[in-house]
Structure 1
């Protein structure tokens, strides 16, 4: 029985690594699949892991129709047994519904990977629809850690080192610590960091904690 499975977790918990492993395992057993991603850190048409693994993927765009992609493939005589869909939080609810239809009407397994909530702690529309429709939601067991050592449960966005809780929902940036200095052309540098709920509520990132410890700032 085909399934729609949503593998979720915060950043740094191994979602893309598992997506690549899932594709490898199924392909090794002779199954034919397609790999999709959207707004990957490595660029367009790529799926990448922070461990250094990287592979080609089909870029999901606003007008991507998964049903049409699969029916076109089958019309050309190519089998499609499964789909691996990374960064699924960026898919539209309609695209998630297309994935569910492929499972139900074509018997195609769909393995979706993504985070659930944005830097404002609000659900991404794509992730919300996946939670509503998935046969199973699997929370990845590899725990991301806040700078304090507690389990990280929230994704924080920083702009030039300062945590923000307002702005566009989707802005691609670096993971905190991977980039230094201003962004390209002197633009503000956007980065992301995982935090526990307590420090997300306090807006206390690793940089803020270091400054507080050194006496350069005061925690209010």
Structure 2
């Protein structure tokens, strides 16, 4: 039976790497698929991983109709067994419904990859619809880490090194290194440091302050082994 699967997690947990690996595995078994992405960090019509892996993809636009596109491919004689859909949080809810229709009516496996919540800790519309419709929602097992060493659960946006919680939902940037820049960057944080707006850059600045003693630093105790 074909499935609509949503693989999700924070940034840095390997979603795009898994998407590329799944395409490789299916193609190695003689299956034919299509790769889609939207607003990838490497540019238009690319699916890329932070590990340096990349390949060509079909760019998902606001007017992209997955049903019409795939039916046209099949009508023109192309075999389509599966779809790899990266950056699915940026898809419109109606496009998610089109993917579900491809699964149900044409028996095509659809594997989607994306983050669930934005920098405001609110669900992306595309992710919300996937959670509502997917046969399976699978949390990736590779844990991204906050600067404090705990498991990261939230995606934070920084501008000039300062965390912000207001602005447009979709602004393309990259994972920041904690240094101040005027460009938009993203960083993963644990809930405690997300709520306190304590990024890696802010933590380093606090640590270097002569007015702060070591025991005053906002550190999270790591969980003890059981």
Question: Is TM more than 0.5 here?
Answer: yes
Match of 1:72 in 2: 72
Partners of 1:129 and 1:70 in 2: CA distance: 20
Q: Determine if the alignment matches structure 1 residue 202 to structure 2 residue 205.
A: no
Match of 1:92 in 2: 92
Match of 1:46 in 2: 46
Partners of 1:28 and 1:212 in 2: CA distance: 51
Partners of 2:137 and 2:57 in 1: CA distance: 23
Partners of 2:210 and 2:146 in 1: CA distance: 21
1:1-220 equivalence runs, <5 A: 1-177=1-177, 182=181, 188-215=182-209
Q: Quick one: structure 1 residues 189 and 30, their matched pair in 2 at CA, closer, same or farther if it must change by over 3 Å?
A: same
Deviation per residue, 1:104-157 (Å, 9 max, x gap) = 000000000000000000000000000000000000000000000000000000
Match of 1:185 in 2: none
Partners of 2:48 and 2:9 in 1: CA distance: 16
CA contact (8 A) 1:35 1:57 kept: yes
CA contact (8 A) 1:163 1:205 kept: yes
CA contact (8 A) 2:42 2:48 kept: yes
Partners of 1:10 and 1:55 in 2: CA distance: 22
Matched residue SS, 2:142: coil
Partners of 1:194 and 1:48 in 2: CA distance: 19
TM-superposed CA distance for 1:174, in Å, is 1.6
Please, which runs of 5 or more residues in structure 2 have no aligned partner? 219-226
Matched residue SS, 2:94: helix
Q: Give the TM-score normalised by structure 2.
A: 0.92
Partners of 1:73 and 1:174 in 2: CA distance: 33
CA contact (8 A) 1:211 1:217 kept: no
Higher CA-based Rg:
2
TM-superposed CA distance for 1:89, in Å, is 0.2
Q: Give the TM-score normalised by structure 1.
A: 0.94
Give the total of aligned pairs: 214
Matched residue SS, 1:98: helix
CA RMSD of superposed structures (Å): 1.5
Matched residue SS, 2:188: strand
Deviating beyond 2 angstroms after TM superposition, the runs of 4 or more aligned structure 1 residues are: 216-220
